[in-house]
Structure 1
Amino acid sequence: MYNVAHLKSFKSVALTGSVRSAAQHLGLSPSAVSHHLKMLEQETGLTLFQRQGRGLCLTDTGSAIMSDVDSVLESSGRLGQRISDLHENRIGRLSIGYFATAGTQWLPELVAYLENRHPDVTVRLNLAEGPWTEFHYDLHLVISETATPQFPPQVKGHFLTEDPYVVAVPDDHPLASRAEVSLSELEGHPWIDNDTGDGPCRTILFDACARAGVRVHFKHEAHSFVTALHMVGRGLGLTLLPRLGVEPLPPGVAVIPLAAPEPIRFIHAISDPGHPQQDLIADAVMALCELAAD
């Protein structure tokens, strides 16, 4: 079994081309890094580096083992994280990241179910709005623009449901009695914004409008589904939002489906495939699927 510290020094020198730079990156002395390289070459019986000017570069042999070194270091990192998780008593808790509308509709039932089924587990909720970029939770509810997004290999994706957009209008609006309405028919009416930043919900809506040739112009900015819906109820305009976001619907508001091709957001639960309690996560995902199907 090769020493992980030796492999880290090997990779760092390979990337920087310098023992001194690798030492600074690793927080070691140059002599320690040089010793690691010497020991690794002795262990393998291979010449891994050659001089290039004042620095070092990989030999063909060194280049040939680089991908395997990466795999070993990645596995070592996962093992270290798992040990750290166990030290932090991760066995007794489940952290869930969620966005607001999923929290309103699903999280109360999910937490009640998990605490009843797994009384020794503490469920921790974390509001995580905006685009998903990194995996911070044991289970994370995320939004995508497609039903089959490409998640990175360190997470496991579970499709929950598709959530088509609808338009909310005052209940005395000329469109209120329609069975459905197209985006192009809404262009001449005052719109109320209900989102912030450049999150996936806004991107999905704007992309659909662009495909339909509809120019987006907001008369009012509310920056939340709840506020926008109450503004609609006061007759200040209409707002477009995912169907999951219309509950609870305030008085004076009618909701109309959008005609195809309507904007749709897709909701997934992503989980840590290395979490020590896979049965717990599987139970939580199953409950979410049932809640999403209602």
Structure 2
Amino acid sequence: MWKAQVFLKAVDTGSLSKAARYFGYTPSGVSHMMDAFEGEIGFPLLVRSKQGVSPTPNAVRLIPLIRDACGKDEQLTQVISEVKGLATGTLRIASYASVASEWLPEVIAAFHKDYPRIKIHLFEGVWQEVANYLANRQADIGFYSYFPTIPYRWVFLRKDPMMVAIPPNHPLAAQSSVSLDQLADETLIFPAYGADVDVLRLIEGSGVKVEYSISTLYNYPAFRMVEQGLGLVITNRLITQGLSTKMALLPVEPASSIDLGIAIPAESENTPAVERFVTYAQRIIPQLP
């Protein structure tokens, strides 16, 4: 499955050179490998240009099957290694950036101490990005917030309260909490380009009409805008941890929270590395500040 794994990396990065660096090959070596892979398949898989590579229409049909085959091969490798008494393999984790920075370092540190032979790849993103990593089989498990349509086994970890980030000199900053109806006439900054799942669920459930004036992809640039007095941000508390900021952070009234946890696709079930990492996360994360 090695050629297939290199092919997937080339598709994911859009570059044969990046795939070569990732696996420690030369670009020409990867190019010859892809030529051989296409020869084995029987038709072209990659469109090559000065801008990089992209999958052909026929390759697009094969990619989900190739990802599944590579996942099964990795699962088989891990089980064989476990039987031999060797904990080896690769674990691919998709996660909210806040979870990746505030919670996962301690989990990974403990896990890596016990299983140093297991390689870990961490992908960060907003809700939709984590969901796409899982749907495309680029990640084995995902750390993000619960949503009823998630089609995977869900492992709850912790609740996280919703907050409002407010410029320090704003009149609302003197309050102990902020209600959503108080935000109706305020300038709001929305992460995820206005499609933040957690924020939208909070607003839709309140019946209050709240609209954004500025949007960003990630929360951290939005917080910097709050510090400059450009607007307010509705967020969850974990995202604000570890920030050196001048913002006022007030809870939403009435109190509201999101459920953070782990989504485990059926294809990842019974994979030794996944099972072990989930166990470590369940033990460590609920005890963190």
Q: Do 2:141 and 2:274's aligned partners in 1 also have CA atoms closer than 8 Å? A: no
CA distance in 1, matches of 2:242, 2:167: 15
Aligned residue number for residue 165 of structure 1: 162
CA distance in 2, matches of 1:143, 1:124: 20
- Give a deviation string over 1:22-44, Cα, whole Å, max 9, x none: xxxxxxxxxxxxxxxxxxxxxxx
Q: Do 2:184 and 2:209's aligned partners in 1 also have CA atoms closer than 8 Å? A: yes
- Give a deviation string over 1:189-226, Cα, whole Å, max 9, x none: 2111222364xxx2332233234332222222233211
Aligned residue number for residue 16 of structure 1: none
Q: Do 2:91 and 2:274's aligned partners in 1 also have CA atoms closer than 8 Å? A: no
Structure-to-structure mapping, 1:137-152, within 5 angstroms: 137-145=139-147, 151-152=151-152
Aligned residue number for residue 213 of structure 1: 207
Structure-to-structure mapping, 1:90-239, within 5 angstroms: 91-131=88-128, 132=131, 134=135, 136-145=138-147, 151-152=151-152, 156-196=153-193, 198=195, 202-239=196-233
Q: Do 2:165 and 2:248's aligned partners in 1 also have CA atoms closer than 8 Å? A: yes
- Does 1:269 find its partner at 2:262? yes
Q: Per the alignment, do residues 214 and 250 of structure 1 end up closer, same or farther by CA in structure 2, a change over 3 Å counting?
A: farther
CA distance in 2, matches of 1:80, 1:252: 47
CA distance in 1, matches of 2:229, 2:269: 48
CA distance in 2, matches of 1:285, 1:187: 38
CA distance in 1, matches of 2:189, 2:100: 23
Aligned residue number for residue 277 of structure 2: 281
- What TM-score results when the alignment is normalised by the length of structure 1? 0.60
Over the matched positions of the two proteins, sequence identity in percent amounts to 22
Q: Per the alignment, do residues 246 and 93 of structure 1 end up closer, same or farther by CA in structure 2, a change over 3 Å counting?
A: same
Which structure: greater helix fraction?
Answer: 2
Which stretch has the larger CA shift, 106-115 or 275-284? Answer: 275-284
Q: Per the alignment, do residues 79 and 225 of structure 1 end up closer, same or farther by CA in structure 2, a change over 3 Å counting?
A: closer
Instruction: Give, in angstroms, the shift of residue 80 of structure 1.
Output: 10
Q: Per the alignment, do residues 284 and 214 of structure 1 end up closer, same or farther by CA in structure 2, a change over 3 Å counting?
A: same
Q: Per the alignment, do residues 250 and 232 of structure 1 end up closer, same or farther by CA in structure 2, a change over 3 Å counting?
A: farther
CA distance in 2, matches of 1:105, 1:285: 12
- Higher gyration radius (CA): 1
Q: Do 1:192 and 1:218's aligned partners in 2 also have CA atoms closer than 8 Å? A: yes
**SS of residue matched to 1:161:** strand
**SS of residue matched to 2:178:** coil
Q: Do 2:140 and 2:274's aligned partners in 1 also have CA atoms closer than 8 Å? A: no
Q: Per the alignment, do residues 231 and 79 of structure 1 end up closer, same or farther by CA in structure 2, a change over 3 Å counting?
A: closer
Q: Do 2:167 and 2:228's aligned partners in 1 also have CA atoms closer than 8 Å? A: yes
CA RMSD in angstroms, aligned pairs only: 3.1
**Unmatched segments (≥5 aa) in structure 2:** 1-67, 82-86
CA distance in 2, matches of 1:80, 1:98: 21
Q: Per the alignment, do residues 213 and 225 of structure 1 end up closer, same or farther by CA in structure 2, a change over 3 Å counting?
A: same
Q: Per the alignment, do residues 96 and 204 of structure 1 end up closer, same or farther by CA in structure 2, a change over 3 Å counting?
A: closer
